[in-house]
């Protein structure tokens, strides 16, 4: 409520779900990847949890080959934690680069 006693519209009220909120983000992508994966190790990985757990869908399989991108990364660090082979090298993008949350 405002000081005059009137309700004010919540600017986020029109967002109906997480996907809508994530779509409002913007990225200043660094040319240098902040994620590197030894994809040779992914070939023998039985579970490949990075595919399921990455909220930005940065990991995908093409046949048996693991493909990944870093441009839409949300910088949550989940892939580094869940990789059973610990073959993901992860660091934050250079200062000021990467995702800029808009919620
Ligand atoms: Fe996906 Fe998070 Fe890893 Fe980025 S840090 S690739 S969003 S799991």
What are residue 90's phi and psi, to 5 degrees?
-135, 135
What is the rounded (10 degree) CA torsion for 43, 92, 25, 62?
A: -10
Q: What is the pLDDT of residues 24-72, one digit of tens each?
A: 999 999 999 999 999 999 999 999 999 999 999 999 999 999 999 999 9
d(CA 29, CA 75): 12
Domain 24-100 top-level CATH class: alpha beta
Expressed in angstroms and rounded, the spacing between residue 52 Cα and the centre of ligand 1 is: 11
Whose C-alpha lies nearest to ligand 1, atom 1?
54
**What is the percentage of the chain residues whose pLDDT exceeds 90?**
72
Helix (H) or strand (E) holding 26: strand 26-28
Tokens of 46: 């039985």
Q: Taking 60 as the threshold, does the pLDDT of residue 88 lie above it?
A: yes
Phi and psi (nearest 5°) for 21?
-65, -40
Instruction: Kindly list the domain boundaries of the chain, sorted by start residue.
Output: 24-100
Q: Is the CB of 79 under 6 A from ligand 1?
A: yes
User: What's the pLDDT at 18?
Assistant: 76
Predicted pLDDT of residue 1: 41
pLDDT at residue 103 tops 90: no
Question: Does 56 sit in the ligand 1 pocket, CB within 6 Å?
Answer: yes
């Amino acid at each position: 409520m405002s000081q005059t006693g009137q309700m004010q519209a919540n600017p986020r009220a029109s967002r109906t779900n997480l996907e809508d909120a994530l779509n409002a983000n913007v990225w200043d992508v660094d040319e240098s990847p902040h994620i590197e994966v030894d994809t040779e190790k992914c070939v023998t990985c039985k579970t490949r949890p990075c595919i399921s757990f990455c909220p930005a869908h940065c990991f995908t399989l093409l046949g048996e080959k693991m493909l990944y991108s870093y441009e839409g990364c949300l910088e949550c660090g989940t892939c580094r934690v869940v990789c059973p082979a610990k073959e993901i090298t992860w660091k934050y993008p250079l200062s000021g680069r990467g995702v800029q949350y808009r919620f």
